[in-house]
Amino acid sequence: MSIRTALPINTELRFGPDTCFTIKGEAGRGASCIVYDAVYQTNAGDEKIVRIKECCPFDIPLKREPSGALSCPESSAGRFADVKAHMYADFRLCNRLFYTESSSDAIINTLNIYEANNTVYIVSAWARENVLSSIKLDSLRDHISIVRQTAAAIRSIHQAGYLYLDIKPDNISVINSISKRVQLFDFDSLVPIESLRNRQYSSHQRLSYTRGFAPLELRRGQLSGLGPHTDVYEVGALLFFLLFGHTPEAPDCVRSAVYDFSAVSGSSAIPDRLVILFTEFFHKTLASFSRDRFSDMDPVVEMLSEMERIADPVYPCLISSPVNSPSCFIGRSVELESLASWAEDESQHVLFVTGMGGIGKSTFIRHFLADHREAWDSIVFLFFRGNLRQTITDDSGLRINGTERLPEETEADYFERKLQKLREIMERDRVLLVIDNIENYGDPALGQILSLPCRSIFISRMPLGSLNLPVLPLGSLSDEDDLLKLFVHYLDRAVEADEVGIIHEIIHFVDGHTLALELLARQISNSFLSLSDACELLKAKGTLHIDDLRVDYLRDNHISYEYLEVIIKQLFETNRLSSAEISLLKALTLFPAPGIDAREFMRLSGIDSAEPVSSLVRYGWITRGADRVLYLHPLIRDVIRDFPAEDRILCNVESVLRTLYRDIVFESHKEEINIRDPENIPAELQNVDASEILTDFRKLNASVTAARGVIDAVSNDAQLSGRPLTRKLTHAMIVNLPKHEDEAILNYGMALLDHPESLTALEILEVYEPVEKVLLTRQKYDKAINLMKRAEKYAVDERTKAEFCGLESNICDFRGEPEDHRKMFTLLEEGIAHARLAPPPERKHLLAEFLLGKLNAFTRSGFDDESVINGLVNELMEIIEKECLPYSEIRCGFAIAMGFYWAELGRDREKVDKWCSIAREIGKKLYPAGLDFIDNCVIPPAIMYFDLGDYDDSESALQEGIRICDDHPEIAAYVRKKNDLRHYLQDVYHAAGKFF
């Protein structure tokens, strides 16, 4: 019976006159040894730590004598001698590995081997490392790094000709240096690869391994099955253990294994890409069947390196907003204390900071955050953008690394996705969310934002009213000295003693309103006004009464603003700002906070020089944010918005509206450029190859989005919203809204159709079209018919009559009643007749659209009069060759129509393939976004193959569409499309007899 007794603590192990180690305790046991922590004294007199491994096999009945010696029965003496010899061999091997250039870092430094107590001792250098099994690693990246380094060390051991066979946390120490470093320290288990190949290794020799970390071939003791792939499994098992907290089991090792990464600590931070790599890594390391594993350690190390890169802790995370300390912050010590108490109290999740506009709420919060930045992992400081959903979805304000709104994604879908991403990050990180200038506590998204697992501060001018939530109201600065300091700071000069009294008078006029005080000081500083003149002016107007201002504001938002406007307007008059400057400010009201890029603003508002803008920034009228973003303080913005809409101060506004309109029209009408008429080609495209002229949908969408923001900004401004240019821009915006924005199309469209003044009949009918299509898609046929009754009066000439025929035929096409078919043919014929008489330059395009409609209708109805169809095709081809760009929707539509013709009537598969291929080539250039590509170039070919009975090809086409959708699993539009495709696929399977 073997009971292995360790040497007692403080035993002195003497290996010669000058070599003495003192045992400090048992560190662990292996199959053949007991390991001790020990020390020795250096010549300088201080202690150094070592590890000592004593040969003491568990399966030999050794007895510890009082002297410390191990006595071995005669019957086991031979076996004991073998183990000791093996230990000598291990020592030599370890030394050899240590001096191998590539591995010295990761192999323990064995110092010497000694004999005493009838056994053998190996002494190794040791530092205060931690054994991997006993420490907690900080991050996912650390876990991967440790495993990657272990794999690299094992690779060196393989290169030296050995298998390790016992990789486990107990055999790995982690050294904390600049980064975490690993070191292997147990080499009992090593087996020479050559001896396995030559079958020299006896199956009676015991293989060391650890259950849980050992693959099947090792557990079975199947020597011929061992190889580098055995260690590959163990490296996989090590990573698995570090991630999941338990070793892999059978279900984790089969070819079809799936892993639940939600069980991994901090799983919300695992990037999607890493989840895919982890799965692939485990499939290729943990496979029960060894041939399915990586055959050696090279690809293991390579893949771990890639995973380590992706697991960088900054991914994914919130990108904190820059929160700069204000250049001047004075006073408010009581409020700062209150805010600090709130920040320290973790049970408080939300705080509303309220107070009138311009009182310094944002400055107060910014000042506090600049001093308390370290209390949070991320601080997100957002400007309210009309509603909370828009505020959150605005990627320029709230940025999440690796997450952005995609062109096809609706705001509602992206809001939900972004909120989910935020929730995941906030569960991991300490996040402070600040939303500045929230205007509506009834915002439907407020509840969702309040439920986020973060701390939030909402800054608002509105009192909280009956809402029972923590609030910190900010009033005026009450300390006269503080206000004096503030005024002098912005006056930017020393004040004379006799001026102090005047400043106090001015302070009284604004009742400590910090913005007004700041503006006054800046104006006085930059104008001809002396302090006394300014004061006299304010006195003369006599409009500022402290109590009125504050009380009125709290009771009625609108009334209080009027008083503030008086102050600000007073400043305008006193400063004698030019109408050009006022015009600029008026234009900037179109872009509420967080504002607009300075250069883009200059382009849109038609300003050649930056000077007027810079001047307004200098005087404090315009606020310049990070990254050259310009915006107006809400107080100033509201006042400017109320300035009378005189033409002289609207020139920049007009420029913004006109430029945006031109941007949209230019991009959306590229297809109608006649390539054979050089004079008709816009200057920007004169030297561009025809094959390169195609609508840039990203650019178009950006312009449409900007136009929508501007239209929203002017919506409450009767003077601006009714201007002809605004209506033109609204028209251009509506007809170019992406089709998934159906709700917006209806809302903006119906509003414009109710007030279509200033639009031409054709423009009005163009707005009817997307609105009608939304109704038809929703199967609201009666509403669509009523709408057409309203539209009929705009069909006044050949062009508009053609347009109206198109609108009417849409109803027939969507509804598909028996009588609709015949009616549609009649309408298409009428449309063609009107199109032929329509004026150039659009005539040909219009005609081509109707001819295409007719060709499609023929094909679908099975009409097979070849001469009629040939006539149609020839006319279409002529127009297309002469008039259309190489990459145009009409060409794509024509190719698809021809494909249908050969599928339905010609029954010629080769020709179908040819036309589908042309459509795809055009589609790839035209529709990079994916969804349109599926609609135009994936689904039609699938239908053609289906109709031809080629179900496998039909399935392949649909699968391609599904794959495209799978690339965007988080976008609802793609998920809906994927569902549609799956339904089609079911039809294909059904037709192919793949169901019961």
Partner 1 sequence: MDSYTEKLTVEAAELYEYDTVERLPEIIASFRGHGAALSDFLDSHGCPRGNDSEGKAAFLKDKFKSAGIDPAKARNVVKWLTEPNGFERETGFRIAFSLDLTVEETNEFFRTVMLDRSFDCHTIREAIYYYCIYHGKDYRTAEKLLSEIPQPKKGPVPNSTDVLYTKNIVVFLQNCSDDELLLNYFRENLAQFGYNQVKAKEYIKLLWKNISSPNGLAAQERKYFPVSLKPASAEESDSTWNIYLQILGLDLEDVKSIEADRTIKPILNNAVFMHQFTAENFPNRQSIEKMLRGESTQNDLIRKTLILFVFYQFWMNTALTQKAHKSYEAGKYDRERCLTELDQYLLDAGFPEMYAGNPFDWIFIWAAGRESPMQAFRSYWQLLSAEYSEKKNAL
Q: How far is the CB of 959 from partner 1 (least distance, A)?
A: 9
Nearer to partner 1, 528 or 995 (CB): 995
Nearer to partner 1, 82 or 194 (CB): 82
Give just the sign of the alpha carbon dihedral 811, 815, 817, 821.
positive
Could you tell me which residues come within 8 angstroms of residue 769 by beta carbon, excluding any fewer than 6 positions away?
735, 803, 806, 807, 810
- Per the rule left: phi > 0, alpha: psi between -120 and 50, beta: everything else, 61 is beta
Find the binder of partner 1 among 65, 176, 289, 861 (CB under 8 A).
Answer: 289
Does 291 help bind partner 1 (rule: CB under 8 A)? yes
Q: How far is CA 512 from CA 484, 962, 976, in A?
A: 10, 63, 56
Nearer to partner 1, 666 or 989 (CB): 989
530 CB neighbour count, 10 Å cutoff: 12
Nearer to partner 1, 288 or 715 (CB): 288
Distance CA 814, CA 810 (A): 6
Q: How far is the CB of 795 from partner 1 (least distance, A)?
A: 52
Own/partner contacts of 609-615, CB < 8 Å, gap of 24 or more, are 612/580, 612/581, 612/584, 613/584, 615/581
Nearer to partner 1, 795 or 957 (CB): 957
Nearer to partner 1, 56 or 521 (CB): 56
Q: How far is CA 745 from CA 495, 521, 662, in A?
A: 59, 48, 20
Is residue 738 packed enough to be buried (19+ CB in 10 Å), middle (13-18) or exposed (0-12)? buried
Q: How far is the CB of 996 from partner 1 (least distance, A)?
A: 5
Q: How far is the CB of 57 from partner 1 (least distance, A)?
A: 12
Q: How far is the CB of 2 from partner 1 (least distance, A)?
A: 6
Which residues between 36 and 75 bind partner 1 (CB under 8 A)? 58-59
- Binding-site residue total for partner 1 (CB under 8 A)? 32
Does 99 help bind partner 1 (rule: CB under 8 A)? no
Does 4 help bind partner 1 (rule: CB under 8 A)? yes
Q: Which of 342, 371, 378 is nearest to 453 (CA)?
A: 378
Does 444 help bind partner 1 (rule: CB under 8 A)? no
Which residues between 146 and 165 bind partner 1 (CB under 8 A)? none
Find the binder of partner 1 among 8, 251, 402, 501 (CB under 8 A).
Answer: 251
Does 3 help bind partner 1 (rule: CB under 8 A)? yes
Q: How far is the CB of 205 from partner 1 (least distance, A)?
A: 13
To which residue do tokens 């423009």 refer? 763
Find the binder of partner 1 among 26, 105, 170, 292 (CB under 8 A).
Answer: 292
Nearer to partner 1, 287 or 775 (CB): 287
Q: How far is CA 13 from CA 10, 141, 570, 807, in A?
A: 9, 42, 95, 100
Q: Phi/psi of residue 182, each to 5°?
A: -110, 155
Find the binder of partner 1 among 35, 132, 191, 253 (CB under 8 A).
Answer: 253
Q: b/e per residue, 796-828, with b = 16+ CB within 10 A?
A: eebbbbbbbbbbbbbbbbbbeeeebeeebbebb
Using the contact rule CB under 8 A, the part of the chain among 120-128, 215-223, 425-433, 715-723 near partner 1 is 215-223
Using the contact rule CB under 8 A, the part of the chain among 208-216, 451-459, 898-906, 936-944 near partner 1 is 208-216
Which residues between 217 and 246 bind partner 1 (CB under 8 A)? 219-221
Q: How far is the CB of 118 from partner 1 (least distance, A)?
A: 20
Find the binder of partner 1 among 43, 66, 128, 250 (CB under 8 A).
Answer: 250
Nearer to partner 1, 58 or 315 (CB): 58
Q: How far is the CB of 774 from partner 1 (least distance, A)?
A: 34
Nearer to partner 1, 221 or 969 (CB): 221
Q: How far is the CB of 224 from partner 1 (least distance, A)?
A: 12
DSSP 908: -
Collapsed DSSP state (helix, strand, coil) of residue 905: helix
Does 199 help bind partner 1 (rule: CB under 8 A)? no
Is residue 183 packed enough to be buried (19+ CB in 10 Å), middle (13-18) or exposed (0-12)? buried
Nearer to partner 1, 119 or 290 (CB): 290
Nearer to partner 1, 99 or 289 (CB): 289
Q: Which of 639, 612, 530, 528 is nearest to 575 (CA)?
A: 528
Find the binder of partner 1 among 65, 249, 280, 646 (CB under 8 A).
Answer: 249
Nearer to partner 1, 288 or 719 (CB): 288
Find the binder of partner 1 among 216, 445, 566, 905 (CB under 8 A).
Answer: 216
Using the contact rule CB under 8 A, the part of the chain among 285-293, 382-390, 406-414, 544-552 near partner 1 is 285-293
Own/partner contacts of 760-766, CB < 8 Å, gap of 24 or more, are 761/794, 761/795, 761/796, 761/797, 761/800, 762/794, 762/799, 762/800, 762/803, 763/728, 763/731, 764/791, 764/794, 765/791, 765/794, 765/795, 765/800, 765/803, 765/804, 765/807, 766/731, 766/735, 766/803
Q: Which of 969, 984, 980, 925 is nearest to 409 (CA)?
A: 969
Does 211 help bind partner 1 (rule: CB under 8 A)? yes
Distance CA 91, CA 88 (A): 5
Using the contact rule CB under 8 A, the part of the chain among 2-10, 620-628, 761-769, 873-881 near partner 1 is 2-10
Using the contact rule CB under 8 A, the part of the chain among 159-167, 284-292, 319-327, 581-589 near partner 1 is 284-292
Using the contact rule CB under 8 A, the part of the chain among 158-166, 286-294, 429-437, 507-515 near partner 1 is 286-294
211 CB neighbour count, 10 Å cutoff: 9
Does 27 help bind partner 1 (rule: CB under 8 A)? no
Could you tell me which residues come within 8 angstroms of residue 43 by beta carbon, excluding any fewer than 6 positions away?
none
Q: How far is the CB of 227 from partner 1 (least distance, A)?
A: 15
Using the contact rule CB under 8 A, the part of the chain among 183-191, 214-222, 309-317, 553-561 near partner 1 is 214-222
Q: Which of 954, 854, 858, 957 is nearest to 904 (CA)?
A: 858
Does 1 help bind partner 1 (rule: CB under 8 A)? yes
Find the binder of partner 1 among 166, 830, 955, 960 (CB under 8 A).
Answer: 955
Own/partner contacts of 114-119, CB < 8 Å, gap of 24 or more, are 114/13, 114/15, 114/19, 115/15, 116/13, 116/14, 116/15, 117/13, 117/54, 117/67, 117/68, 117/69, 117/70, 118/69, 118/70, 118/71, 118/72, 119/54, 119/55, 119/56, 119/69, 119/70, 119/84
Is residue 875 packed enough to be buried (19+ CB in 10 Å), middle (13-18) or exposed (0-12)? middle
Does 78 help bind partner 1 (rule: CB under 8 A)? no
Using the contact rule CB under 8 A, the part of the chain among 1-9, 485-493, 738-746, 942-950 near partner 1 is 1-9
Q: Phi/psi of residue 426, each to 5°?
A: -70, -25
Nearer to partner 1, 205 or 341 (CB): 205
Which residues between 964 and 993 bind partner 1 (CB under 8 A)? 989, 993
Cβ pair 426, 452 in contact under 8 A:
yes
Nearer to partner 1, 248 or 594 (CB): 248
Does 996 help bind partner 1 (rule: CB under 8 A)? yes
Nearer to partner 1, 218 or 897 (CB): 218
Does 314 help bind partner 1 (rule: CB under 8 A)? no
Find the binder of partner 1 among 792, 881, 952, 966 (CB under 8 A).
Answer: 952
Nearer to partner 1, 232 or 359 (CB): 232
Q: How far is CA 400 from CA 267, 299, 422, 641, 672, in A?
A: 17, 32, 8, 33, 39
Sites of contact with partner 1 (CB under 8 A) = 1-4, 29, 58-59, 211-212, 216, 219-221, 249-251, 253-256, 288-292, 952, 955, 989, 993-996
